[in-house]
Amino acid sequence: MVAHRRQPPKELDPALILRAYAMGVFPMADARDAGSVYWVEPKLRGVLPLDGFHLSRSLRKVVLSDRFRVTVNRDFPAMIRLCAESAQDRPDTWINGVIERAFIQLHHRGHAHSIECWDGDRLAGGLYGLALGRAFFGESMVTRVRDASKVALVHLVARLQAGGFRLLDCQFITDHLASLGAIEIPRDDYVALLAAALGDSTGSTGATALPSSASGDLFALDAPGEEAGTVSGPLSRKVIAQLLGQTS
C-alpha cells in the first residue's frame, strides 16, 4: 500500500475527491475520531468482476424472500454513520468526520449512493460508495442483522450489471469479499480497468459534469413511474434473480 502525504485537519473538497478517484487514489483516516486523512493507492487492488459474482443458493433464497426491505439512497447519512460506528467485530473504523461530511456532500451532488437493508424500521445493514462514469467504488459495508450487507451487495451488483457499469472497486480484499467473487489485481491492471470504465467521462481535469452516455445508470432496474431507487420491491428482486442466476 502506498500512502501519500497527510492532509491538514480541514474539510475535503468534493471535487478533489472525484479527481483522486479518477486517478485510483482514495482517502482514509486512522480512526473515527482522527482529525486528518491520508491518501491511499494500493499496490494490489480489490475488484469484484461483475460477471463473476458468486451467489450461493442460501443467499439467493434470502434475496428472493421478504426478509429485508431494500432501498437506495433512502437515508444516506444514516448509512454512512452506521458504517462508521464501532462494533464488537470491528472496534474502530477509518471513516472520520471529515470523510463523512465530504461524502454527504457528494451524495447531495449525485455521486455517492447508499443501499440500505431494513428490518422493519431498523436499519439492519447495507453499504455506500461512489459512482463515477461506469465505475462504482465501494467504500464500506456493514451488517447489524445477519446477511443484511450481503443482500445489499447482491442488489448493488445487479444494479451495476443492469446499468452498464464496467468496474466494481472493492479497494481491499477480505475473506468475505473473496467468497463472493472478489479478486486482487496489480495496480497497473487496475489503472487500465479504471481508464476503460471512465473513458472520457471525467475530462482532462476530473470534472464533475458527466455526460449520461458515459455514465452508468444505478437506477436502471427501477420500474417506470416509481421514484428512482425508493424501494427494491418484488419486481426488482425477480430481475435481480434473473441477472445473477447467470453468474451463480
Q: What is the pLDDT of residues 106-145, one digit of tens each?
A: 999 999 999 999 999 999 999 999 999 999 999 999 999 9
Position 105 pLDDT exceeds 90 = yes
CA distances to 38, 53, 124, 201, 237 from 22, in Å: 17, 24, 31, 10, 32
- Give the SS3 label for residue 105: helix
Whether 246 shows a pLDDT value over 60: the answer reads no
Question: For the chain, what is the mean pLDDT?
Answer: 85
| 155 grid coordinates | 442488489
Q: Residue 71 and residue 150: Cα distance in Å, rounded?
A: 14
Rounded to 10 degrees, the C-alpha dihedral 21/97/95/199 comes to -10
Q: What is the pTM of this model?
A: 0.86
Cα 236 to Cα 9, 28, 46, 178, distances in angstroms: 43, 34, 27, 25
Residue 216 has pLDDT above 80, yes or no: yes
